[in-house]
């Protein structure tokens, strides 16, 4: 049996060990599992977080300096440590102007190893202004990458336009690991009213904006027979509860649910997952719901179309349009045959295409060639 290849893994936006749950943390953990399933031995190289959300140039400068020190520490440790544990590849998850990678390229250059990124995005409009340094640094990392795994179609055009000649772009759509979840059958038995579910953190900004759209849409359906379960928590919980107060007991707040044994039945028993998805990168909860045969109604922002097949596994509505969102929900409420068809297609879609095995195969087929000296462009004089 071939020995697993050591890989340095890094997530500058949010470490897989970060205490706050989020889709980014979940995907970082899934990529670690995917790399292991692909025949690699991923090891978290650093937990240094580079996220800077205010556009503060001084903070960005400080983070860059700290990351340079972290990179030098890692270079020395790798060179002085056992050769068998020295990484042969650096893999960074999620690089963009608010969370550049100041560590990976420096280490990869020093060790003369390939450098890969999953979920990188380019934003030319940030070349000037508050995030100028973060933008330039993210662009430099993206330019350095031997391979970029593209997780949403929304990111692909900009990545393709700026792609260096030797760089490979590889489709790696968001995925889940079904083994992380208890085996439950969908629970869409006929009942008097429909059960809706929302799974999202309660933060100010885009999340709160999504909750506002959802509340407005449900207000248009006040005369219909439905209930809503909300899974999530955060500093905007009071505002969210206020938005849904007019619905009284029809809305139940479950708080933050990290235990999949508790969360799985909520997915399985729901008739529809509802989420307006304002500026959502893609939304892993939308994929998780479909795995349990729960169709999705979501706003067609960003990469949401990469996890929901419009008209096949769910319905995507115009971004920010609460009237269109309500109309889509109303149409499905009165058409059980279509709901059941969407539910069946959703579970098939995730099982066949969005599991750990297909993701591992994509990772392996793209990364292994980078380790072959004759074909790798990573080694530099």
pLDDT digits (tens, 9 = 90+) for 57-89: 999 999 999 999 999 999 999 999 998 889 999
Please check the confidence at residue 105 and state whether its pLDDT lies above 80.
yes
Residue 179: half-sphere exposure toward Cβ, Cα within 13 Å: 6
Q: Quote the CA–CA distance of 299 and 322 in Å, as a whole number.
A: 9
**What is the DSSP code string of 326-356?**
HHHHHHHHT-HHHHHHHHHHHHHHHHHHSSH
Q: Which has the minimum average pLDDT: 42-56, 128-142, 362-376?
A: 362-376
For the residues 18-24, what does the mean pLDDT come to?
89
For the residues 119-135, what does the mean pLDDT come to?
93
The rounded percent of the chain whose pLDDT value lies above 90 is: 90
**What is the DSSP code string of 37-82?**
HTTEEEEEEE-------S--HHHHHHHHHHHHHHHHHHHHHHHHS-
**pLDDT value of position 84:** 86
pLDDT digits (tens, 9 = 90+) for 251-282: 999 999 989 999 999 999 999 999 999 999 89
Mean pLDDT of the chain: 94
pLDDT digits (tens, 9 = 90+) for 33-46: 999 999 999 999 99
Nearest CA to 154 out of 123, 128, 175, 115 is that of: 123
Given a contact cutoff of 8 angstroms between Cβ atoms, the answer to whether 100 and 16 are in contact is: no
pLDDT digits (tens, 9 = 90+) for 201-240: 999 999 999 999 999 999 999 999 999 999 999 999 999 9
Please check the confidence at residue 375 and state whether its pLDDT lies above 70.
no
Please check the confidence at residue 191 and state whether its pLDDT lies above 90.
no
Please check the confidence at residue 243 and state whether its pLDDT lies above 50.
yes
End-to-end CA distance of the chain: 33
For the residues 163-170, what does the mean pLDDT come to?
97
Please check the confidence at residue 186 and state whether its pLDDT lies above 90.
no
**pLDDT value of position 189:** 57
Structural domains in the chain? 5-175+355-371 (3.40.50.2000), 179-353 (3.40.50.2000)
**pLDDT value of position 190:** 57
**pLDDT value of position 172:** 97
Q: Which has the minimum average pLDDT: 151-155, 191-195, 273-277, 365-369?
A: 191-195
Structure tokens at 36: 């292991």
Please check the confidence at residue 374 and state whether its pLDDT lies above 60.
no
C-beta atoms surrounding 163 within 10 Å: 16
């Amino acid at each position: 049996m071939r020995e697993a290849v050591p890989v340095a893994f890094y997530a500058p936006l949010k470490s897989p060990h970060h205490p706050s749950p989020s889709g980014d943390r979940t995907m970082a953990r899934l990529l670690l599992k995917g790399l292991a399933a692909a025949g690699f031995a991923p090891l978290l190289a650093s937990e240094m977080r580079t996220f800077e959300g205010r556009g503060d140039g001084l903070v960005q400068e400080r983070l860059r300096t700290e990351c340079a020190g972290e990179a030098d520490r890692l270079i020395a440790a790798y060179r002085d440590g056992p050769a068998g544990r020295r990484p042969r590849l650096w893999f960074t998850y999620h690089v963009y102007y608010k969370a550049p990678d100041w560590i990976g390229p420096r280490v990869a250059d020093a060790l003369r190893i390939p450098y890969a990124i999953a979920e990188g995005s380019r934003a030319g409009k940030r070349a000037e202004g508050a995030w100028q340094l973060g933008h330039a640094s993210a662009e430099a990392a993206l330019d350095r990458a031997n391979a970029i795994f593209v997780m949403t179609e929304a990111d692909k055009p900009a990545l393709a336009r700026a792609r260096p000649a030797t760089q490979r772009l590889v489709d790696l759509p968001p995925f889940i690991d079904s083994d992380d979840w208890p085996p439950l059958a969908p629970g869409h038995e006929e009942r008097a009213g429909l059960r809706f579910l929302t799974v999202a953190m309660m933060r100010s900004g885009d999340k709160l904006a999504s909750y506002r759209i959802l509340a407005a849409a449900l207000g248009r359906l006040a005369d219909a027979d439905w209930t809503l379960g909300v899974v999530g928590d955060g500093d905007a919980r009071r505002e969210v509860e206020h938005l849904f107060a007019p619905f009284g007991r029809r809305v139940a707040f479950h708080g933050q649910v990290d235990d999949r044994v508790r969360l799985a039945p909520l997915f399985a028993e729901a008739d529809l997952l509802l989420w307006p998805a304002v500026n959502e990168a893609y939304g892993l909860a939308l994929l998780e719901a479909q795995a349990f045969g729960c169709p999705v109604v979501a706003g067609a922002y960003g990469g949401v179309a990469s996890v929901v097949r419009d008209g096949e596994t769910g319905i995507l509505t115009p971004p920010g349009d609460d009237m269109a969102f309500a109309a889509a929900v109303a149409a499905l409420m009165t058409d059980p045959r279509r709901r059941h068809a969407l539910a069946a297609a959703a579970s098939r879609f995730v099982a066949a295409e969005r599991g750990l095995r297909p993701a591992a195969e994509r990772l392996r087929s793209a990364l292994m060639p980078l380790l072959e000296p004759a074909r790798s462009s990573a080694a530099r004089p």
